[in-house]
């Protein structure tokens, strides 16, 4: 009689969540950016169910805010900004993507995505750099706030990511932006279409090389 393999018990909140992109920027003067797509990857051997939460749900419409992802697959979540006006320029909102096993209620992992509405993509470089710096500072503060109940970890000071880390990050981002195998309506050559598994690897590597600089 074949012995059934037991799945290791998963600790609540510790499961890494792979989602791309990790930041949404909407531009008021570019209507094509008012609808954006988050891709949730499931590299695990078990199905996941997900839920999308938001700090300001009245400003956004989320298509399929709850759902499931099969093992070794991915799912697209469409987010539309429905309250584009000057009063919201520069305001940082947050989405929380929460995942759990289909048979469980407890959240096994979560990932936060920041969303910002800017007046135009044609901002001066200096103003754009200042905006990006402000967004990163806000993200760092929110991550610190989420971890106040945990024992802080002492990390050595670092001057920043190495060139190899930056290069790997760029390659992984480029891979995630390429079409997936099976997409017919694409101008990209077929040999540049990647499989879901290849994109899962790229998402995993991107998460590994970027995590030391995000927390």
pLDDT tens-place string over residues 83-102: 999 999 999 999 999 999 88
Q: How far apart are CA 145 and CA 150, in angstroms?
A: 10
In a domain, 12, yes or no: no
Q: For residue 153, what pLDDT is reported?
A: 41
In a domain, 82, yes or no: yes
Q: For residue 150, what pLDDT is reported?
A: 32
Q: For residue 175, what pLDDT is reported?
A: 82
Q: Determine the structural domain holding residue 170 and report its residue range.
A: 162-175+196-210
- The mean pLDDT of the chain is 77
What the block records as the tokens of 115 is: 């969303």
Low-confidence ranges of the chain (pLDDT < 70): 1-13, 123-162, 209-215
Q: For residue 130, what pLDDT is reported?
A: 62
In a domain, 8, yes or no: no
Q: Domain total for the chain?
A: 2
Q: For residue 131, what pLDDT is reported?
A: 59
Q: For residue 182, what pLDDT is reported?
A: 76
Q: For residue 166, what pLDDT is reported?
A: 77
In a domain, 187, yes or no: no
Q: For residue 129, what pLDDT is reported?
A: 62
In a domain, 144, yes or no: no
Query: Which of 211, 117, 115 lies closest to 172, judged by CA?
Result: 211
Q: For residue 139, what pLDDT is reported?
A: 52
Tell me: do 107 and 166 sit in the same domain.
no
In a domain, 123, yes or no: no
In a domain, 146, yes or no: no
**Could you tell me the CATH number of the domain that includes residue 36?**
2.60.40.10
Q: For residue 160, what pLDDT is reported?
A: 58
Angle at 174 between CA 172 and CA 175, to 5 degrees: 65
Q: For residue 132, what pLDDT is reported?
A: 60
pLDDT tens-place string over residues 138-157: 554 443 333 223 333 444 44
């Amino acid at each position: 009689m074949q012995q059934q393999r037991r799945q290791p018990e998963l600790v609540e909140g510790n499961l890494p969540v792979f989602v791309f992109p990790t930041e949404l920027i909407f531009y008021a003067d570019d209507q094509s950016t008012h609808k954006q797509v988050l891709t949730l990857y499931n590299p695990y051997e078990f199905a996941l169910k997900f839920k999308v939460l938001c700090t300001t749900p009245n400003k956004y419409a989320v298509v399929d805010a709850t759902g499931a992802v099969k093992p070794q697959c991915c799912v697209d979540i469409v987010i539309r900004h429905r309250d584009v006006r000057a009063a919201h320029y520069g305001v940082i909102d947050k989405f929380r993507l929460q995942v759990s096993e289909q048979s469980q209620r407890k959240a096994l992992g979560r990932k936060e995505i920041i969303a910002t509405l800017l007046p135009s993509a044609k901002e001066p470089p200096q103003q754009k750099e200042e905006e990006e710096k402000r967004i990163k500072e806000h993200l760092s503060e929110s991550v610190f706030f989420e971890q106040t109940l945990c024992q802080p970890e002492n990390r050595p000071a670092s001057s920043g990511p190495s060139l190899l880390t930056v290069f790997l990050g760029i390659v992984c981002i480029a891979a995630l932006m390429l079409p997936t195998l099976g997409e017919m309506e694409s101008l990209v050559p077929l040999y540049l279409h990647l499989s879901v598994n290849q994109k899962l690897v790229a998402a995993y590597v991107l998460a590994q090389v970027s995590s030391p600089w995000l927390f």
